[in-house]
């Protein structure tokens, strides 16, 4: 006669097996797969090679770092279409979901933000069960003594933020276990390792504007005008500047700039910036889509509403024109880069060198 175990025993056996499987999965994740370790090591080595420790006001080192990270870098290759960026929460128990972060297109972040840091290649990788992501923690230092126009906006508009930037000693990359992409990047002044170099604090006065004109009559921040990103001879640079000014005017009329600015007046948990040409270029597709679908702007209760027909038409026309010029400028740069690339030569044949 077949013997049956009591239901409670069978349930206990099933639960026990499930717990063992879950424990094994957690243990496997906690071990950090070789692919994640390899990726972290490659990024750390690349950052140390192209963005090594230097004087915090070394503009040449900053520009060299920008050029390396913006191109076909390992870091850029591991970024998703939208990256979240910001400082680590002052609340040590806050999760990433509970932390206010800014959304960036990958090119915007590698061009404007990541190069502001310097690295020595030292890093650790761990599994963080609360976030269900791998955390790559790199030792880092911040270029706090660059000229104001080298920062994507005046970080000193908020004293606490500027203090965290100046004293940052760790750069955090959160890696999704399934995609192996960096979902979130952060900086913090609460890293477990000592400062990489002494910090000479700098005080700046915030004048209340995100774009300003310097004593020489040039619009700042220069980095947000594609300065150093595109060649000076790029024929679309002047048009980009003019079309962004047209777009900025329409965004003001449509109240976009009341929310999408660095001080985040609406305290959005996932901020999108449109306050400079480079930021707008990175978010132009999202802007166009949101306006077309009447998801922007929003009222004081965070409810979206449709713009007046004329305002909507003018804003979309300005945005589409700016987008087309951004695409043309990028295409020109790609062609120029190919033309400037060194020619690879094959061995001598019949007394003549043959280009590949």
Report pLDDT digits (tens) over 73-120: 999 999 999 999 999 998 989 999 999 999 999 999 999 999 999 999
* CB atoms inside a 10 Å sphere around CB 341: 8
Kindly state the percentage of the chain with pLDDT values over 70. 87
Angle at 330 between CA 328 and CA 334, to 5 degrees: 115
Alpha carbon distance 59, 146 (integer Å): 7
> What long-range pairs does 54-60 form, CB within 8 A, spacing at least 24?
54/118, 55/145, 56/141, 56/142, 56/143, 56/144, 56/145, 56/146, 56/197, 56/199, 56/200, 57/143, 57/145, 57/146, 58/143, 59/146, 59/147, 59/150
Residue 231 has pLDDT above 60, yes or no: yes
Strand partners, 134: 127, 175
Alpha carbon distance 169, 139 (integer Å): 6
Mean pLDDT of the chain, nearest integer: 88
pLDDT score for 303: 77
Q: Which two tokens stand for residue 33?
A: 């797969």
Residues contacting residue 262 through CB under 8 Å, at least 6 positions apart: 153, 154, 157, 210, 273, 275
Q: Which two tokens stand for residue 289?
A: 């889509």
Q: What is the mean pLDDT of residues 187-203?
A: 96
* Higher pLDDT, residue 306 or 278: 278
Alpha carbon distance 202, 195 (integer Å): 17
Residue 159 has pLDDT above 50, yes or no: yes
Kindly state the percentage of the chain with pLDDT values over 90. 74
Alpha carbon distance 142, 28 (integer Å): 35
pLDDT score for 24: 43
The residue extents of the domains of the chain are 31-197, 210-341
Pick from 232, 228, 275: which is nearest to 70 by CA? 228
pLDDT score for 305: 83
| Residue 272 contacts residue 262 (beta carbons within 8 Å) | no
Residues contacting residue 275 through CB under 8 Å, at least 6 positions apart: 153, 210, 211, 257, 260, 261, 262
Residue 15 has pLDDT above 70, yes or no: no
pLDDT in tens, 290-314: 999 998 777 777 777 888 999 999 9
pTM equals 0.85
Strand partners, 186: 86, 172
Least confident of 163-177, 224-238, 290-304: 290-304
Q: What is the mean pLDDT of residues 325-333?
A: 95
pLDDT score for 342: 64
| Residue 40 contacts residue 125 (beta carbons within 8 Å) | yes
pLDDT score for 4: 46
């Amino acid at each position: 006669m077949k013997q049956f175990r009591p239901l409670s025993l069978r349930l206990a056996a099933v639960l026990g097996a499930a717990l063992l499987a879950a424990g094994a999965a957690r243990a496997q994740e906690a071990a950090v797969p070789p692919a994640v370790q390899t990726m972290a090591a490659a990024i750390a080595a690349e950052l140390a090679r192209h963005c090594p420790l230097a004087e915090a006001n070394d503009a040449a080192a900053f520009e060299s770092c920008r050029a390396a990270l913006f191109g076909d870098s390992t870091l850029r290759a591991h970024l998703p279409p939208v990256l979240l960026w910001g400082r680590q929460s002052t609340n040590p128990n806050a999760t990433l979901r509970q932390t206010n972060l800014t959304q960036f297109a990958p090119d915007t972040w590698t061009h404007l933000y990541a190069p502001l840091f310097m690295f020595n290649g030292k890093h650790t990788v761990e599994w963080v069960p609360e976030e269900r992501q791998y955390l790559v923690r790199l030792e880092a230092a911040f270029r706090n003594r660059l000229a104001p126009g080298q920062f994507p906006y005046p970080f000193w508009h908020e004293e606490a933020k500027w203090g965290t930037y100046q004293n940052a000693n760790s750069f955090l990359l959160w890696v999704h276990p399934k995609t192996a992409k960096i979902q979130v990047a952060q900086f913090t002044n609460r890293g477990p390792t000592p400062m990489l170099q002494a910090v000479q604090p700098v005080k700046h006065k915030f004048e209340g504007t995100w774009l300003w004109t310097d004593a020489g009559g040039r619009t700042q921040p220069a980095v947000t005008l594609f300065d150093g990103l595109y060649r000076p001879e790029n024929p679309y640079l002047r048009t980009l500047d003019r079309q962004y000014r047209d777009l900025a005017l329409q965004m003001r009329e449509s109240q976009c700039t009341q929310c999408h600015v660095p001080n985040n007046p609406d305290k959005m948990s996932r901020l999108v910036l449109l306050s400079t040409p480079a930021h707008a270029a990175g978010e132009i597709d999202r802007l166009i889509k949101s306006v077309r679908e009447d998801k922007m702007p929003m009222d004081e209760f965070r409810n979206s509403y449709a713009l007046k027909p004329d305002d909507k038409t003018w804003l979309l026309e300005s945005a589409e024109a700016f987008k087309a010029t951004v695409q043309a400028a990028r295409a020109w740069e790609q062609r120029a880069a190919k033309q400037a690339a060194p020619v690879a030569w094959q061995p001598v044949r019949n007394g003549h060198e043959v280009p590949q």
